[in-house]
Amino acid sequence: MEISRKRILLIFGLVLASFVFFMFTAVKLELLPDPRIIERAKTQYTREVKLNPRRGNILDRNGDQLAVSVDLDSVFVDPKLIPDQDRSRLAGQLAEILGMQQSVILEKMSHPKRFVWVKRLLSFDESEKLKGLIYERDKRGGLVRINRGIGVIKEPKRVYPNGSLASHVVGFVNRDAVGMDGVERSYDEFIKSKDVSVKYGKDRKGRAIYSGSNIFITSDNGNTVYLTIDKSIQYQVERELKKIVESKNALSGTVVVMDPNNGEILALANSPDYDPNDLSKTTNYAMRNRAVTDAFEPGSIFKIVTAGIALKDKVISLTDKLWGENGKFQLVGGRKPVFVKEAKGHDYGFMDLKKLISVSSNIGSAKLGLMIGAKRFYRGIDEFGFGRKTEIDLPGEINGLLNKKGGKVEIANMGFGQGISVTALQMVKAYSIISNGGNNVMPHVVNKIMNEQAEIIYEYPNEKGEKVLSSSIAKELSLMLRSVVSEGTGTSTDIIGFDIAGKTGTAQKAVGGKYSPDKYATSFVGFFPVSSPKYVMLVLIDEPKGAYFAGVVAAPLFRNIANIVIQGTDTVVPVADVAKEEPKQKSSKPTELYTSVQERDDVDDIKVQDGEVPDLRGRTLRTALKMIPSSFDDVSVHGEGRVVRQEPAPGAKPDESGSINIWLE
């Protein structure tokens, strides 16, 4: 009896202990739940489908939209909720609405999964038609779902509201909303949201529940990127560039406008370009950001770099003069001699550095390269940023190409911009160093990035770069470049009352290992205003047809864009017109070639008789244009230098066409 009582007490104690244990466990789970258990429960009663990540806006420096995301409908099916007898009918209706094949949709409706995409990112028209298939209105006018196996989810789609504007800077995304080019790619991790998914409930049998509060989207909206690009300047740069590329039937063109003091790029344009909203209508060539991905031989625009290195290494002074070798300089003798010649057989006599740059002497620049020497020349080229990336925050940048052979011919050729390949951005950087007083600068297109709380999470560090040139040398180089525009080969870029400095370049293109006699890359690089530069700009036109000299192709384009930037308008200052393809035939006899170009630019010497064609021979382009009466509204300019020929001849009476042609050498 005593033993039975002990057994009863023991059993009772065990039952009580078990009860207390389970009660404690239940209270613990209620008050302090195990995260692993909660997650397991969620997976039993909810399901998650990953969507394209949301992306933050890309704005210009003033807050204008360049890339945004809009929510569009994406349609899916749950095959388990579509009766077999209805599949063929619904597949046909969906195919008609979505522009798909019925067989493809039927295959999706036969899938074993409970969530199968049919088509993503529908057009607004498709979305409206789809509503009529999924819903119908009841007697009270409300929407009643009639096809529960078809569902719609909002997904973000990348939209570029300005079409092709700044497309090579902004870039584009693929179907999965991953940045593939431009800022979209370089800053992809900043722009896209961390997590984007749709979650929906399931009943106890695992069937999806898509209605009401059981479906919701989890995501953030990504960060907002502010560019250095000015939308207004970018638009007008692209417009002017497209005009010249089309009128000259050129392969392509590139323009870069940058602040030389901090490296902020205000405009970067290539022609042809593309619309990132519809990549099916573009080509790989049009999508190339040639400002960073393509290299070219700079030709004469590189001569100022050679001069800067020579002054820095003290191999020449500002007063020293170089002999022009009567227009033909022999580098190598023997059975296969090598010569450096001036363009069109010019003979510039003795030249100081200012004259060398102003007349764009090949021989003078070649001699400078040889005086500097291979070791110092390569070092100086590297300090200016050639042969290596500028580290701009855009993908696809190349290093350019240096001829490391270092022989006499190679060094002489590099002195005047042959045998070296550079990118447009490298040239912009080099001229920025000259214009800003000699400091290195880092080109960039992103100014800052802000999160959804309007907090700055990234800002470009506009720090002053290391010294490349002394301020005094940089100033002298700037004055040399100013002389090019005021009296040299770049007079057609000048804007009255506003000092511009720069250099023209007309470089032969290498084809099959030899320089082509009829393929050229024409360019102009410059900055303004000279006294306190705020803008540095490069214009590059690849293989213009007809008149190809930089002075009549690239330089006027530079002037037009500079005028827009300066005045905030597209009103063109009447300085010079881009040359026509060929001079028109006139009845009046043209002047003979002015073989001894006597420099005649004294103010007192400028005499213009009313009703007569003035004598322009020996004048600079700048002076000649001032002398041409207003009755001539069609001025065609051919070549560079000073006027050697004109049509009609001096003293002739203007004809009814109002046209005049002038040739310069």
pLDDT, tens digit, 9 for 90 and up, residues 73-96:
999 999 989 999 999 999 999 999
User: How sure is the predictor about 601, in pLDDT bands with cuts at 50, 70 and 90?
Assistant: very low
Contacts of 112 (CB under 8 A, 6+ apart): 79
**What is the C-alpha to C-alpha distance for residues 4 and 11, in angstroms, rounded to an integer?**
11
Is residue 231 predicted with pLDDT exceeding 50?
yes
Contact between residue 293 and residue 307 where contact means Cβ atoms under 8 Å apart: no
User: How sure is the predictor about 578, in pLDDT bands with cuts at 50, 70 and 90?
Assistant: very low
Write out 185-237 in H/E/C secondary structure: HHCHHHHECCCCEEEEEECCCCCEECCHHHEEEECCCCCEEEECCCHHHHHHH
| Secondary structure (DSSP) of 41-75 | HHHHHEEEEE-PPPB--EE-TTS-EEEEEEEEEEE
Q: Taking residues 265-284, report their average pLDDT.
A: 96
Query: For residues 210 and 665, which has the higher predicted lDDT (pLDDT)?
Result: 665
3-class DSSP state of 638 = strand
Is residue 607 predicted with pLDDT exceeding 60?
no
For residue 151, give the nearest of 103, 201, 85 by alpha carbon: 201
What is the phi-psi region of residue 455: left when phi exceeds 0, alpha when psi lies from -120 to 50, beta otherwise? beta
pLDDT for 303 equals: 97
Q: Which among 194-198, 509-513, 551-555 has the top mean pLDDT?
A: 551-555
Neighbours of 192 (CB within 10 A): 24
Architecture in CATH for domain 48-226:
Alpha-Beta Complex (3.90)
3-class DSSP state of 289 = coil
**What is the C-alpha to C-alpha distance for residues 518 and 515, in angstroms, rounded to an integer?**
9
pLDDT for 580 equals: 31
**What is the C-alpha to C-alpha distance for residues 438 and 384, in angstroms, rounded to an integer?**
10
Contact between residue 449 and residue 190 where contact means Cβ atoms under 8 Å apart: yes
Element spanning 475, H or E: helix 471-487
Is residue 617 predicted with pLDDT exceeding 50?
yes
User: How sure is the predictor about 31, in pLDDT bands with cuts at 50, 70 and 90?
Assistant: low
CA 313 distance to own-chain centroid: 35
pTM of the entire predicted model: 0.75
**31: which 2 tokens?**
């008050």
At which residue do the structure tokens 């720069």 appear? 502
DSSP conformational letter for 249: T
Q: Taking residues 616-645, report their average pLDDT.
A: 74
3-class DSSP state of 595 = coil
| Secondary structure (DSSP) of 461-473 | --PPPPBSS-HHH
The matching CATH number, chosen from 3.40.50.150, 3.20.20.150, 3.40.710.10, 3.10.20.590, for 232-567 is 3.40.710.10
Is residue 251 predicted with pLDDT exceeding 70?
yes
Write out 483-537 in H/E/C secondary structure: HHHHHCCCHHHCECCECCEEEEEEEEEEECCEEEEEEEEEEEEEEECCCCCCEEE
At which residue do the structure tokens 């009896």 appear? 1
Lowest mean pLDDT among 172-186, 381-395, 555-569: 555-569
**265: which 2 tokens?**
């790029």
Beta-bridge partner residues of 338: 332
For residue 269, give the nearest of 527, 534, 538 by alpha carbon: 538
**What is the C-alpha to C-alpha distance for residues 444 and 23, in angstroms, rounded to an integer?**
65
- When the pLDDT of each residue in the chain is averaged and rounded to a whole number, the result is 84
pLDDT for 609 equals: 60
pLDDT tens-place string over residues 312-322: 999 999 999 99
At which residue do the structure tokens 């619904």 appear? 90
User: How sure is the predictor about 17, in pLDDT bands with cuts at 50, 70 and 90?
Assistant: confident
Q: Taking residues 497-526, report their average pLDDT.
A: 87
Is residue 49 predicted with pLDDT exceeding 80?
no
DSSP conformational letter for 296: B
**What is the C-alpha to C-alpha distance for residues 424 and 365, in angstroms, rounded to an integer?**
21
**383: which 2 tokens?**
């300090």
Is residue 476 predicted with pLDDT exceeding 70?
yes
**What is the C-alpha to C-alpha distance for residues 1 and 422, in angstroms, rounded to an integer?**
108
Q: Supply the Cα-derived Rg of the chain in whole angstroms.
A: 36
Is residue 645 predicted with pLDDT exceeding 90?
no
Is residue 407 predicted with pLDDT exceeding 80?
yes
Contact between residue 55 and residue 66 where contact means Cβ atoms under 8 Å apart: no
pLDDT tens-place string over residues 413-454: 999 999 999 999 999 999 999 999 999 999 999 999 999 899
Contact between residue 197 and residue 48 where contact means Cβ atoms under 8 Å apart: yes
Q: Where are the domains of the chain?
A: 48-226, 232-567, 603-664
DSSP conformational letter for 279: G
CA 629 distance to own-chain centroid: 41
User: How sure is the predictor about 575, in pLDDT bands with cuts at 50, 70 and 90?
Assistant: very low
Contact between residue 648 and residue 611 where contact means Cβ atoms under 8 Å apart: no
Distance set, CA 184 to CA 18, 70, 171, 173, 451 (Å): 62, 16, 5, 7, 16
What percent of the chain stands above pLDDT 90?
54
Reply yes or no: is the peptide bond before residue 298 cis, omega within 30 of 0: no
Is residue 466 predicted with pLDDT exceeding 80?
yes
**What is the C-alpha to C-alpha distance for residues 538 and 558, in angstroms, rounded to an integer?**
8
pLDDT for 444 equals: 97
pLDDT tens-place string over residues 137-167: 877 877 788 888 998 988 889 999 999 999 9
Contact between residue 228 and residue 447 where contact means Cβ atoms under 8 Å apart: yes
φ, ψ for residue 636, nearest 5 deg: -110, 130
pLDDT for 657 equals: 63
Is residue 603 predicted with pLDDT exceeding 70?
no
pLDDT for 398 equals: 97
Is residue 383 predicted with pLDDT exceeding 80?
yes
**What is the C-alpha to C-alpha distance for residues 66 and 159, in angstroms, rounded to an integer?**
9
pLDDT for 297 equals: 95
Q: Taking residues 56-60, report their average pLDDT.
A: 96
For residue 640, give the nearest of 361, 420, 428 by alpha carbon: 361
Beta-bridge partner residues of 256: 268, 538
**What is the C-alpha to C-alpha distance for residues 606 and 627, in angstroms, rounded to an integer?**
7
Contact between residue 554 and residue 522 where contact means Cβ atoms under 8 Å apart: yes
3-class DSSP state of 140 = coil
Is residue 382 predicted with pLDDT exceeding 50?
yes
Give the β-pairing of 634-639 and 659-664: parallel
The distance in angstroms from the start CA to the end CA of the chain is 134
Helix, strand, coil % over all residues of the chain, rounded to 5? 35, 25, 40
Lowest mean pLDDT among 388-392, 495-499, 527-531: 495-499
What percent of the chain stands above pLDDT 70?
82
Q: Taking residues 313-339, report their average pLDDT.
A: 92
| Secondary structure (DSSP) of 330-383 | EEE-SSS-EEEE-GGG----EE-HHHHHHHT-HHHHHHHHHHH-HHHHHHHHHH
**What is the C-alpha to C-alpha distance for residues 306 and 73, in angstroms, rounded to an integer?**
59
Reply yes or no: is the peptide bond before residue 337 cis, omega within 30 of 0: no
pLDDT for 228 equals: 97
pLDDT for 620 equals: 78
User: How sure is the predictor about 403, in pLDDT bands with cuts at 50, 70 and 90?
Assistant: confident
Query: For residues 48 and 600, which has the higher predicted lDDT (pLDDT)?
Result: 48
CATH no. of 603-664: 3.30.10.20
Upper half-sphere CA count for residue 499 (Cβ side, 13 Å): 14
pLDDT for 19 equals: 75
